[in-house]
Amino acid sequence: MIMTNKVEAFIWRNGTYIKKEEEIVSDETITLVINDTLKRNFSISPESLKDFAIGYMLGENLINSVDNIENLEIEDNEIIATIDLEDFYIRKELIAGSDCFGGWRSKIDMINKVDSDLTLDGKDLLKNMEEMNENAFIWKKTGGTHIASLINKKNNEFISREDISRHVAVDKVIGAAARKKLNFKDSYIIYSGRMPADVLIKIARVGIPIIVSNAAPTLSGYSVANEAKITMIGFIRENKFNVYTHENRVK
């Protein structure tokens, strides 16, 4: 599937219209079908769909690991997953949702606290934020995507994924890292966008100890980060950032 399309637009500049070809980001309605019984529709960028499906299922606690997936196929605009998990039918009733609205308050008590000895140097955070921005290829062309990067210090991995949805961008990097069998406890996420509860719940469930953003936290996100022992860092830019929770992981 194609991530961008070219269209004609009229650019108003200094009182004059200029006809120009513009590149805009693609979006598609993608249906995720799990075990024939759970179907969810998403408006997302049509790329890295297997990464998305795996990251989504991990972040929603529908699977424990990639090993629970028996089959994963893409047919047109459908992602069809078969998973082998005895309590799947119980878990599917507890989905918070990969969007801005979820029953997060009822989910906090069910999230384990993140146990990780990962520490970071502030200068490395700033450097990796710059690298993430350099990897935002679709955003540079269109201005229409969010980007998330997962950095694993132990394996020296830097994975980036873009999407029109900041939630799905996070799902995609989680899925990509899971496919590489990276240890989430040695990893952290940098991404563009606010930090609400549902994003923090995703990373808490997989055991990622640190989230970094160039944007702001929300109170719900702060509450989850504080409760789940996640280090939340916001407003990272140029030579500064704010550490909101569990500052012991930042040198």
Contacts of 157 (CB under 8 A, 6+ apart): 150, 151, 177, 180, 182, 187
Token duo for residue 66: 């990639």
Cα dist. 20→12, 125, 138, 145 in Å? 10, 38, 19, 21
Token duo for residue 113: 């606290």
- 2 three-state secondary structure: coil
Contacts of 177 (CB under 8 A, 6+ apart): 150, 152, 157, 159, 184, 187
What strands, in cross-sheet order, belong to the sheet with 187-191?
157-163, 146-152, 187-191, 210-213, 231-237, 240-243
Which residues are catalytic, by number?
Answer: 100
